[in-house]
Chain A
Amino acid sequence: MFNAYQTTTLQFNPTECNGCGMCYTVCPHAVFNRNGRTITVAHAENCMECGACQLNCPTNAITVDSGVGCAAAMMYAAVTGKREPVCG
């Protein structure tokens, strides 16, 4: 109740993963866990969908519908019909 942030668009496919650990390195919210060369999604609920892991995954094992979690930008885009602007 009163939590819109429980689900995430982050999807991790372990069969594509080569264990390089880049996702673990770039994630600012410790979503991934690394055990040797085994990567798991440990805290999906912390994902802010920034897209850093997807962009830095060399084997395309990660997909995430990334974007900026900014209500002002989204509402502005919805009202004006423009592409979601990103502020500075």
Chain B
Amino acid sequence: MSETNDRIVRPTTSVLTWANRWDHILARWAINRMGHRVEPGLYALGNPTQDSPVFVTANYTLSFDALRSALGGMNAYILVLDTQAINVWCAAGKGTFGTDELAQRIEATGLRDRVSHRVVIAPQLGAPGIAAHEIKKRTSFKVEYGPVRAADLSEYLTRREATPEMRRVRFTLRDRLAVIPVEIVGGLIPLLIGAAVAYLFGGWVSSLAVVAAILAGVVVFPILLPWLPTHDFSAKGFLLGALVALPLVVSSWQGNADAVGWLRAGKAIVPLLIFPPITAFLALNFTGSTTFTSRSGVQREIFTYVPVMAWMFAIGIALMIGLPIIRMIGG
């Protein structure tokens, strides 16, 4: 980008159009993943003067739109960083919503000539990427961390202070429902492959069971997360998967009434070995979509549970193939 282009101030409003809302729906369903982009640079909301506040955000439509719609009726500058169309928190984790980018963007847009004050208000969730004291040193601008949610901005601005509640990240049912579409899209290909393979080997009942185990992991699990017992995602997933597999256990037990005791029990236990690990694995993968799991904790979960998942699944498949053979030989 040329120097002159960088210093352009683009106009924007607080109004969300139907096109914006449609874009948000597509983003929520992970459609056109990198297409929900805003041009980085400086934007004028309303008619800002040299005393107007400056808000920093990411060049992702959901972030930019959440900010501008929360600033209804205000005159302000919005400084959009280039995060490669990724939201503030994830980009901060990556470092793209970061100290270097913010410092360079302040310089390139000529912000110091536009405003007389030396404060930029950044979202609190940008903090994993931005060292406030570093920005102060490099640009003379003070980074003020606003609330976590853009919706709390108007209340924040009246007191220039965030309540402890505004500083907390939650993961409410509403938040969890919002990420389910992405989980579904992510699980779609494994679901189709799994259902097809299961159909070839065990007919439509097995196929349905695979679909149920996967949907339990990507849809039911996120909804029930806080209410499932134990703390670990994998353990919760195992429990949920066992519940889903239970009808199969019962129907297998009843359907093999003529088999020898141990063979009958063996066949009945197969669904309990195969399906819960599938749900548990998907549950473990949900850690990345949450707002509170730590890296070291997830690491411990992986080491603890993934071997268990693998062994259960392998033994289940071995029994599924082996038991009918044993039966043929003369069980």
Q: A49-B295, A75-B302 are in contact. Are A56 and B133 (CB under 8 A)?
A: yes
Q: Determine whether B22 belongs to the interface, using a CB cutoff of 8 Å to chain A.
A: no
Find out whether the CB atom of B230 lies under 8 angstroms from the CB atom of A25.
no
Residue of B nearest to A70 (CB): B288
Q: Determine whether A39 belongs to the interface, using a CB cutoff of 8 Å to chain B.
A: no
Q: How large is the interface on B (under 10, 10 to 19, 20 to 34, 35 or more residues)?
A: 35 or more
Residue of A nearest to B164 (CB): A30
Contact with B along A48-88 (1 / 0, CB 8 A): 11111001101000000111111111110000000000111
Q: Determine whether A7 belongs to the interface, using a CB cutoff of 8 Å to chain B.
A: yes
User: Nearest 5 pairs between A and B by C-beta?
Assistant: A70-B288, A69-B293, A5-B297, A52-B127, A67-B295
Pick the contact of B168 from A8, A30, A67 — CB < 8 Å?
A30
Find out whether the CB atom of B85 lies under 8 angstroms from the CB atom of A65.
no
Pick the contact of A66 from B91, B124, B128 — CB < 8 Å?
B128
Given contacts A8-B297, A30-B164, A74-B302, 5 further A-B contacts (CB under 8 A): A2-B235, A5-B300, A27-B167, A56-B132, A86-B90
Find out whether the CB atom of A3 lies under 8 angstroms from the CB atom of B128.
no
Find out whether the CB atom of A69 lies under 8 angstroms from the CB atom of B304.
no
Contacts of B145 in A (CB 8 A): 25-26
Find out whether the CB atom of A88 lies under 8 angstroms from the CB atom of B86.
yes
Contacts of A5 in B (CB 8 A): 231-232, 293-294, 297, 300
Q: Determine whether A28 belongs to the interface, using a CB cutoff of 8 Å to chain B.
A: yes
Contacts of B231 in A (CB 8 A): 2-5
Q: Determine whether A41 belongs to the interface, using a CB cutoff of 8 Å to chain B.
A: no
Q: Which chain B residues numbered 40 to 57 have a C-beta less than 8 Å away from chain A? A: none
- Please report the number of residue pairs spanning A and B whose Cβ atoms sit closer than 8 angstroms: 131
- Chain A: residues with Cβ within 8 Å of the partner, total of 39
The docked-state distance in angstroms from the alpha carbon of A70 to that of B288 is 4
Find out whether the CB atom of A55 lies under 8 angstroms from the CB atom of B288.
no
Pick the contact of A71 from B162, B167, B168, B285 — CB < 8 Å?
B285
Pick the contact of A73 from B127, B133, B167, B288 — CB < 8 Å?
B288
Residue of B128, B230, B231, B302 most packed against chain A (CB within 10 A): B128
Shortest CB-to-CB span from B168 to chain A, Å, is 6
Pick the contact of B301 from A9, A71, A88 — CB < 8 Å?
A71
Residue of A nearest to B186 (CB): A72
Q: A28-B148, A55-B129, A86-B94 are in contact. Are A69 and B295 (CB under 8 A)?
A: yes
Find out whether the CB atom of A26 lies under 8 angstroms from the CB atom of B127.
yes
Q: Determine whether B244 belongs to the interface, using a CB cutoff of 8 Å to chain A.
A: no
Find out whether the CB atom of A48 lies under 8 angstroms from the CB atom of B131.
no
The docked-state distance in angstroms from the alpha carbon of A69 to that of B90 is 11
Residue of A4, A56, A74 most packed against chain B (CB within 10 A): A4
Contacts of A75 in B (CB 8 A): 302, 306
Q: Which chain B residues numbered 263 to 322 have a C-beta less than 8 Å away from chain A? A: 284-285, 287-288, 290-302, 304, 306
Contacts of B132 in A (CB 8 A): 22, 56
The docked-state distance in angstroms from the alpha carbon of A66 to that of B295 is 7
Find out whether the CB atom of B127 lies under 8 angstroms from the CB atom of A68.
no
The docked-state distance in angstroms from the alpha carbon of A65 to that of B302 is 17
Q: Determine whether B125 belongs to the interface, using a CB cutoff of 8 Å to chain A.
A: yes
The docked-state distance in angstroms from the alpha carbon of A7 to that of B294 is 10
Find out whether the CB atom of A4 lies under 8 angstroms from the CB atom of B297.
yes
Residue of B nearest to A5 (CB): B297
Q: Determine whether B169 belongs to the interface, using a CB cutoff of 8 Å to chain A.
A: yes
The docked-state distance in angstroms from the alpha carbon of A56 to that of B285 is 29
Q: List 10 A-B contacts (CB under 8 A).
A: A9-B294, A9-B296, A22-B133, A48-B293, A49-B295, A56-B127, A67-B93, A71-B285, A73-B288, A88-B86
Contact with A along B31-75 (1 / 0, CB 8 A): 001000000000000000000000000000000000000000000
Q: Determine whether B130 belongs to the interface, using a CB cutoff of 8 Å to chain A.
A: yes
Pick the contact of A25 from B167, B284, B293, B304 — CB < 8 Å?
B167
Contacts of B129 in A (CB 8 A): 55
